[in-house]
Amino acid sequence: AKPRVVFSGIQPTGIPHLGNFFGALLNWVKLQNDARPGDRLIFSIVGWHALTLPQDPRALSTARRDMLAVLLAIGLDPKRSIIFHQDSNPNHTELAWILNCLTPMGKLRRMTTWKSRLAASRNANDESEVDESLLNAGLFTYPVLQAADILAYKATHVPVGEDQEQHLELSRDLADIFNRSFHADGPTFPLPQHVITPSRRVLSLKDPSSKMSKSAPDANSRILLTDSTSTVKKKIRSAVTDSITGITYDPQTRPGTANLITILAACTGEDTLAVAARYADKGHGALKAGVADAVEEVLKGPRAEFERLKGERGYLDMVAREGTERAREISEETLRGVRARVGL
- Chain residues binding ligand ADP by CB under 6 A are 10-11, 19-20, 22-24, 160-161, 163, 201-202, 211-215
Min dist CB 221 to ligand ADP, Å, is: 10
Min dist CB 213 to ligand ADP, Å, is: 4
Which of 24/111 has CB closer to ligand ADP? 24
Burial (CB count within 10 angstroms: exposed 0-12, middle 13-18, buried 19+), residue 169: middle
Which of 125/215 has CB closer to ligand ADP? 215
SS3 8: strand
Which of 201/278 has CB closer to ligand ADP? 201
Min dist CB 166 to ligand ADP, Å, is: 13
Which of 11/188 has CB closer to ligand ADP? 11
Which of 91/259 has CB closer to ligand ADP? 259
Residue number of the CB closest to ligand ADP reads 23
- Where would I find the H helices in the chain? 18-20, 26-33, 47-50, 57-73, 91-100, 105-109, 112-120, 137-151, 165-181, 229-237, 255-268, 272-278, 284-310, 313-342
Which of 25/309 has CB closer to ligand ADP? 25
CA dist 208 and 242 (Å) reads 11
Min dist CB 295 to ligand ADP, Å, is: 14
Which of 134/244 has CB closer to ligand ADP? 134
Min dist CB 127 to ligand ADP, Å, is: 26
Min dist CB 204 to ligand ADP, Å, is: 8
CA dist 230 and 232 (Å) reads 5
Closest CA to 113 of 162, 46, 44, 64: 162
Which of 11/257 has CB closer to ligand ADP? 11
CA dist 196 and 180 (Å) reads 28
CA dist 83 and 79 (Å) reads 9
SS3 256: helix
Min dist CB 203 to ligand ADP, Å, is: 7
Which of 24/152 has CB closer to ligand ADP? 24
User: Which residues partner with 122 through β-bridges?
Assistant: 130
Burial (CB count within 10 angstroms: exposed 0-12, middle 13-18, buried 19+), residue 215: exposed
CA dist 286 and 284 (Å) reads 5
Min dist CB 250 to ligand ADP, Å, is: 19
Closest CA to 326 of 141, 109, 78: 78
CA dist 158 and 166 (Å) reads 12
Min dist CB 216 to ligand ADP, Å, is: 8
User: Which residues partner with 6 through β-bridges?
Assistant: 41, 157
Local structure of residue 245 (DSSP, 8 states): S
| CA 227 and chain centroid, separation | 19
